[in-house]
Chains A and B, each alone.
Chain A
Amino acid sequence: MKARKVGKLDPKAPLDENAARIVRTRVDELRSFAPQALYPDAAEAQHDMRIAAKRLRYVLEVTGFCFGAPAQTARRRARDLQDLLGEMHDCDVMLPRVQAEIDRLRGEDARAVLLRAADADDLDPTLVSHAPNRTAYRGLELLAVHLRARRALLFERFHHFWQAQVSKGTWAKLQRAVDEQLNKSKEERKSPPNGNADPAPSETVRAPSHSAS
């Protein structure tokens, strides 16, 4: 999934203003996957949401200190979401692989049974009791059952987790913090400290800067 482009980034402008633009885009991106990803079988949307959560998490690791507590919370929850969706993805990758292995063994056995039948008019059903892979299926079938059940369990957990974050306003609070920052930057541009706008002193002083340590 290609990341959405973030417009108006300026290397000379302050970190918080640029970071606000990036975080806003990344939160939008993450939330945009929710309607689809909340269907149990929407593996692709869930995978895209995992990538979006990862992108949000990493940008918040570097710039989250500019947006206070909402960013710290969102960073942790994005990490949790990434982990949860990652485990679901692992099931999605492994399950078809197990099915393919079962199919491969079946094909191998069918060929072996046919060879044993030699020139007989019909296939003797007892020949399958000598199929070379007959003891391999059960474990693989059980693995497939385990993966299906685990995926269903993880999906329930994901669904519940997402709803809980929506109720707590995890993403909305971050969005607000970021929007406040963008509004502040806009105001500051309108009334630059040494510009011609002759603003009141309180408007010209930049708010005390947060720092990372």
Chain B
Amino acid sequence: MAKARDVLGLRCDDPFGTTAARVVSIRADELFEHSEGVLDTSEIERLHDMRVASRRLRAAMEVFEPCFPRKRFGAALKQVKGIADALGERRDRDVSIIALETFAEALAAPDRRGIQGMIDQLHEEQSLANERLAPFVDRRRLSDLRERIEELVAVADRRAA
């Protein structure tokens, strides 16, 4: 799992709004950096890293919510939640498939059939989750979100000054 990047130079006596701008900006960068290749089901850690980044961004936005203009913030947060949920749906299947494969390996071969049936179902759900995820990680849509967040960050910075 990708470790959160340190936000260097934060001080406890900095205004809350200034901190908000810096933290949210870095967390947004992390989300976009991890968006490459997440639809590839043979490399499931990529999706996991983006999911963790989306959760961190969402958490940072919620912590610093009062620093942002309410309406625009709401729209951006909704989009981030949408991404996080879609990533979560895929991740749940990735993890379940691995867990069941590991369990099946521990069983005698004749006992594996029922488990294999569930693994097959999960693979179908994984494909469906990927289809639903695709629009959320579309380059253009992510760029729009990035712009929105940059605008929010600029407002938070200005308001705190």
Contacts and interface: CB of A to CB of B under 8 A. Distances in A.
Interface string B83-106: 000000000100110011001100
B111 A142 contact: yes
Interface stretch (A58-66, A118-126, A151-159, A167-175): A58-66
A212 B95 contact: no
Nearest to A10: B16
Interface string A104-147: 01000000000000000000000000000101111110110010
Contacts, number: 127
Contact of A15 (B8, B10, B104, B113): B10
Contacts of A136: 113-114, 117
A140 B118 contact: yes
B51 interface: no
A11 B20 contact: yes
Nearest to A9: B66
A15 B12 CA distance: 5
Contact of A90 (B56, B95, B117): B95
Contacts of A9: 16, 66
A135 B66 CA distance: 58
B62 A135 contact: no
A213 B16 contact: no
Chain B residues touching A, range: 35 or more
Contact of A213 (B6, B14, B20, B103): B6
Contacts of A209: 11-13
A212 B156 contact: no
Given A212-B7, A212-B10, A213-B9, A15 B107 contact: no
A14 interface: yes
Contact of A18 (B16, B59, B103, B104): B16
Contacts of B7: 62, 212
B4 A61 contact: yes
A68 to B, nearest CB: 10
Given A3-B62, A136-B117, A143-B115, A15 B19 contact: yes
A29 interface: no
Interface residues of A, number: 46
Contacts of B107: 139, 142
A182 interface: no
Contacts of A22: 63
A12 B23 CA distance: 16
Given A22-B63, A101-B114, A136-B117, A211 B17 contact: no
A206 interface: yes
Contact of B17 (A11, A58, A133): A11
Contacts of A98: 118
Interface of B: 4, 6-17, 19-20, 23, 55-56, 59-60, 62-63, 66-67, 92, 95-96, 99-100, 103-104, 107, 110-115, 117-118, 121, 156, 159-160
